[in-house]
Amino acid sequence: MTVTSDYFRTAVSSGARGTEPADLDAPKTVARLADYRVTGDRPAIVRPSLSDREVEVLLAWLAADSKEDAAARLFISASTVSTHLARIRAKYTAVGRGAPTKTHLFARALQDGYTGLDSW
């Protein structure tokens, strides 16, 4: 069954946290949510759609001691690394899997198959 905005409106009206009914009317939100699949009463864990470059920056940053080190490795500025990380965090937050710290992002990268423990 494909989940529609009605599913999320029901979730909001029944007390789901982190979403407001007004947010569900936004075209981007509804378009993104239309791809979710439901198993039973709960949506499946959703992997946000990260670009190849976002994955590259994420993995470089996870392996580095700082944003500056990751930036040097990728030949970009530290502020560009920060911008990519902010977008990655926003994508995880949008699917209900917030990742506010480096540890959280590492866990998400493992869960979503972007890296494995054997890589570290």
C-alpha 57/C-alpha 21 separation (Å) is 34
Higher-pLDDT residue of 28, 6: 6
C-alpha 118/C-alpha 76 separation (Å) is 27
Kindly report whether the global pTM for this prediction surpasses the value 0.85. no
Longest Cα–Cα distance of the chain, Å, equals 48
C-alpha 73/C-alpha 27 separation (Å) is 37
Instruction: Name all domains of the chain by residue range, CATH numbers in brackets.
Output: 5-43 (no CATH), 52-119 (1.10.10)
Higher-pLDDT residue of 34, 13: 13
Q: pLDDT tens digit string along 18-35?
A: 444 444 444 444 334 444
Q: What is the pLDDT of residue 120?
A: 64
**Alpha-helical segments (H) within the chain:** 5-13, 21-24, 27-33, 52-63, 67-74, 78-94, 102-111
Mean pLDDT throughout 115-119?
A: 84
Q: pLDDT tens digit string along 36-93?
A: 444 556 667 789 999 999 999 999 999 999 999 999 999 999 999 999 999 999 999 9
C-alpha 49/C-alpha 52 separation (Å) is 9
| Tokens encoding 63 | 């392996």
